[in-house]
Structure 1
Amino acid sequence: MGSEESPGDFTQAGAGIWPGGPLVLGVPWEFEVRLVRAGAGLAVIMGVHLICAFVDPASYLTEWEPDGSRAAISLDPVENLEAEFPARQMLAALEGVLGPPGGAWSFRVLNGDVAKALARLAESTDAAALIVGGQRAGRVARMGRMLEGSVSVSLTHLQARPVLIVPHTGR
């Protein structure tokens, strides 16, 4: 019995299973500070980089190609000054919580379907996990989920990385 691990000894738990890449945090337009702080806190605990990703609603990638091909043809004109506005606003809001981007965190603007865009980013960066906010309450949010689906549910079906869902508090 002396060679057995004692209950609660997790020193080898997850050894070789949990990847060491960055964390990808999907940040919606009206995010809760709690979501960003949860992502940043986990990144600090794990000692990894946090990539805050905003999927721009003003631009979509064509996603009609068969699985395995990645067409990056935008449906937007080459220069779209209106599309820059949400990205600047989002970056300013994130800097208000996390400070300026640098070694600890970075900011990416993605295009296309939210879940697919986040999954592509996670794959291309070899992310350890994805973090997204939970489902919002209310009729408008429920209607959006009916039309577009749930990002968190879609992510769990699109790839094999862990998906951490931070519950929405409604504040």
Structure 2
Amino acid sequence: METPGDFEQAGAGEWSDGPLVLGVPWEFDERLIRAAAGLATIMGVHLICAFVDPASYLTEWEPAGVLDGTSLDPAPNVEAEYPASQLLSGLEGILGPPGGAWSFRVLNGEVAHALGRLAQSADAAALIVGGQRPGRIAQMGRLLEGSVSVSLTRLQGRPVLVVPHSGQ
């Protein structure tokens, strides 16, 4: 009979003890939020829930290393605050009020790049995103915009956990 391996030193120095970054889509699956919160609890780390606002993009045409955080649209977009506040309300219904265990951030830009920048700046242990939604409308969206989970696995050097969509 084999004895279990000693995993004490496995991956020593390779895994950050930073927070988990959860990419939260506008219409999220509650299972995604609960899975991320459960993993954060097990790991004893903070959960950063991040929504990438599709109505605003970073001006990313500057040379590498110089990112301007201004919007392409110079007029303030009051309507852009509505989706984020509705999303925060939905998250609070599942996780309770933000605080020590979790926080909420609204990002701008292309989804995978924005999540990647947040993960890098927070020295995140891992990124968590939802899997591909079923259906023709979702398939058309992936065709036009690409898959966030696929983009993240190509862009990131840190682990990316993809939680399958429940299909409900």
Compute the TM-score of the two structures, normalised by the length of structure 2.
0.93
What is the alpha-carbon distance in structure 2 between the residues aligned to residue 163 and residue 24 of structure 1? 10
What is the alpha-carbon distance in structure 2 between the residues aligned to residue 38 and residue 148 of structure 1? 25
**Conserved in 1, the CA contact under 8 Å of 2:23 and 2:129?**
yes
| CA apart distance, 1:114 | 0.4
- Give the root-mean-square deviation of aligned CA atoms: 1.5
Match of 2:143 in 1: 146
Match of 1:160 in 2: 157
What are the residue-to-residue correspondences of 1:1-171 with 2, within 5 Å? Answer: 6-171=3-168
5+ long unaligned stretches in structure 1: none
Query: C-alpha offsets along residues 13-71 of structure 1, whole Å, 9 cap, x if unaligned?
Result: 32222110000000000001100011111111111100000011121112223433312
5+ long unaligned stretches in structure 2: none
Higher mean C-alpha displacement, 66-75 vs 136-145? 66-75
Letter of the structure 2 residue corresponding to residue 26 of structure 1: G
Equivalent pairs, count: 167
User: Structure 1: which 4+ aligned runs deviate by more than 4 Å?
Assistant: none
What is the alpha-carbon distance in structure 2 between the residues aligned to residue 165 and residue 159 of structure 1? 13
**1 or 2, which has the higher strand percentage?**
2
Percent identity for Structure 1 against Structure 2: 77
| CA apart distance, 1:12 | 2.9
**Conserved in 1, the CA contact under 8 Å of 2:59 and 2:67?**
no
